[in-house]
Chains A and B, each alone.
Chain A
Amino acid sequence: MKLRKVADKLVQIVFLVNAVLAALVLFGILAYLLLFGVRTFAGTSLGGFLFGTRWNPDAYGEPSYGLVPLLAGSFFTTVLALVISIPLGIAGAVFIAERLKGKARTLVKTVVELFAGFPSVVIGFFGLVVVGPFIARLFNVPSGLNLLNAGVLLAFMALPTIISVSDDALRVVPQSYREAAYALGATPWTTATRVTLPAAKSGILAAVMLGFGRAIGETMAVLMVAGNAPVIPRSLFDPVRTITATIAVELGETPFHTTHFYALFALGLVLFLIALGTNLIAESLIRREKRSFTL
């Protein structure tokens, strides 16, 4: 009896220490980003950073640190990826959860989850030598290294996450809901769109948010296929440069403790705020939508 109490206490302490450690590390990262990020504004103005339309730290003349083209690049690639992957992902999840049974279901789900583990550099290479030339030929544009290519690859990378998490959400909808719908004479289609999907709404929202996180944080594949020109895109066929790609490309070569170096931390801070914002929004949406059903 006593031994169990000691063990309980021990486990409690281990978990507490870990939780505190995790929180400390997170705050440490945030503090580091803030500490370095704000020093940017000793070398360039806050307005110039937030509203500047030109990112050119390695300039021949005067360097400029405008966030707008990079933010636009990240935003447009992510939105495009979600536009492609959300409908496909939810449809795929409904199909797997509602229509597939037994071995077929296990097989398809395993394959989908396998795709989630694809190294992004391999996907990037695929985009470079296959998707790029294909887009160029299909739309008769000079180069396939553009927004569209990046969006398609990101959609491909977000899909497994969206399918897998949505499928889990659909699976926990109690069978009695479906039975009730069928008893009222609903077709499988109506059951899925009117009963199971709305019931699984919060889980699916979480899936979409995870997909968003995957898309906005992805670096390697986008770096390889987006063309990396820091311009505000005016069409799907313009090259774009994302925030993550900029940090990845430039951090290695930037001398420590220069405005350029700090500006890259400021970019990291912007990414952090975006992630925090979407998480807060998702959290509040999920909380508002949450309808408990007894399992």
Chain B
Amino acid sequence: MKRTIAFAVLAGLAATLFAAEVLVKGSDTMLNLTQRLAEAFSAVQPDISVSITGGGSGVGINAITNGECDIANASREIKSKEISTARANGVNPVGIVIAIDGLSVIVSEKNSVEKLTPEQIGAIYRGEIKNWNQVGGPNKKISLYGRQPSSGTFVFFRDAVVKGEYSVAMRQMNGNAQIIEALKTDEGGIGYVGVGYLREATGVKAVAVRNAKGEYVSPLDEKKVEAGLYPLTRPLYQYTSGKPKGNARKFIEFELSPKGQEIVKQEGFFPVTSDYQEHNKAALGK
């Protein structure tokens, strides 16, 4: 009996050691999405296991540079500094866009503010606007929630919206879920999360953001986001060392397949748009 158990344990160990494994690391925003994609993938390809960890886009890109993973999830584009560090390490990062995110600015559902301009959001996060009544809301102090610096969302939001330094008073949270958790109890709070995290969130709401045409668009308005009318959309990348090869490529091709893109939609994100499909074709070398 004991021997059978020991044998089973050994066999199990051997199986995990020798099974083809794809290691994915990085963006917290993409964590749930890629987890779901990996589950669906393992149903079609049971011999390849995909394991996914978070940590933030910067962590993922660092890991691919140091050869610690096969695919880096990144909710922002790789920085030129990171590319040169990677090249110095003999790694040539190639990015594939697997989904589109409508980065959502969220507030407590008890807050009467329904819409904001990108300029207002920027001023709020720079700490210039301190009270909700300055943007047509209640007389309540604004408390800021953002992400930690290793987050791609932190960088994307800073460069695209804040366009300056974040206020030092911003609480830096370690994930989308933590921001939502904090906003549930903070009626004066404002935060930002990937649209995929809004699907099941309660107690918070996304504000509509004004686009270049002067139209206020909600990140939950699928048609308008897919038409490129929501101003805070961003591509979600997966970076590999060189063009994707082997099992990593199989996984990425599955993600881009109609079935994979269906899961992207189910998870609340948006499928890859035609211009990024072109980009992917080039990156995959088709």
Contacts and interface: CB of A to CB of B under 8 A. Distances in A.
Interface of A: 54, 56-61, 69, 128-129, 132-133, 136-137, 142-145, 223-224, 227-231, 239, 241, 249-250, 252-256
Task: From B62, B150, B171, name the one whose CB has the most chain A CB atoms within 10 angstroms.
Answer: B171
B39 interface: no
A254 B170 CA distance: 21
Given A129-B181, A142-B188, A144-B185, A250 B171 contact: no
Nearest to B151: A253
Task: From B163, B165, B172, name the one whose CB has the most chain A CB atoms within 10 angstroms.
Answer: B172
Interface in B190-231: none
B82 A255 contact: yes
B154 to A, nearest CB: 7
B141 A142 contact: yes
B166 to A, nearest CB: 8
A253 B185 contact: no
B164 to A, nearest CB: 6
Contacts of A256: 66, 85
Contacts of A58: 149, 154-155
A59 B187 CA distance: 29
B21 interface: no
Contacts of B35: none
A224 B149 contact: no
Given A252-B56, A252-B58, A255-B81, A229 B170 contact: yes
11 contacts: A54-B168, A60-B158, A61-B164, A133-B185, A136-B186, A227-B171, A249-B174, A250-B150, A252-B150, A253-B57, A253-B61
Contact of B59 (A60, A231, A252): A252
B149 A253 contact: yes
Nearest to A61: B165
Nearest to B152: A253
Contacts of B162: 60
Contact of A255 (B62, B181, B185): B62
A174 to B, nearest CB: 50
A228 B173 contact: yes
B260 interface: no
Contacts of A142: 141, 143, 186-189
B149 A229 contact: no
B209 to A, nearest CB: 20
Nearest to A143: B186
A128 B181 CA distance: 8
Given A136-B186, A255-B85, A128 B178 contact: yes
A60 B185 contact: no
B159 interface: yes
A144 B189 CA distance: 12
Given A142-B141, A145-B182, A253-B62, A57 B149 contact: yes
Task: From A54, A143, A253, name the one whose CB has the most chain B CB atoms within 10 angstroms.
Answer: A253
B75 interface: no
B143 A253 contact: no
B118 interface: no
B282 interface: no
Contacts of B181: 128-129
A279 to B, nearest CB: 31
A30 to B, nearest CB: 25
Contacts of A252: 55-56, 58-59, 62, 150
A254 B154 CA distance: 14
Closest 4 CB pairs of A and B: A253-B58, A253-B150, A58-B149, A228-B172
Contacts of B149: 57-58, 249-250, 253
B143 to A, nearest CB: 5
Given A143-B189, A252-B58, A230 B182 contact: no
Interface in B136-159: 141, 143, 148-150, 154-155, 158-159
Contacts of A228: 148, 171-174
A255 B171 contact: no
Given A128-B181, A136-B186, 19 more contacts: A54-B168, A56-B168, A58-B154, A58-B155, A132-B185, A136-B185, A142-B141, A142-B186, A143-B143, A143-B182, A241-B172, A249-B149, A249-B174, A250-B150, A252-B59, A253-B56, A253-B61, A256-B66, A256-B85
Contacts of A133: 185
A209 B94 CA distance: 51
A239 B182 CA distance: 13
Contacts of B241: none
B261 interface: no
Nearest to A55: B168
B176 to A, nearest CB: 14
B164 A60 contact: yes
B65 interface: yes
Contacts of A229: 168-172
Contact of B171 (A54, A129, A137, A239): A239
Contacts of B61: 253
Task: From A69, A229, A230, name the one whose CB has the most chain B CB atoms within 10 angstroms.
Answer: A229
Nearest to B144: A229
Contacts of B172: 227-229, 241, 249
A129 B184 CA distance: 10
Nearest to A232: B168
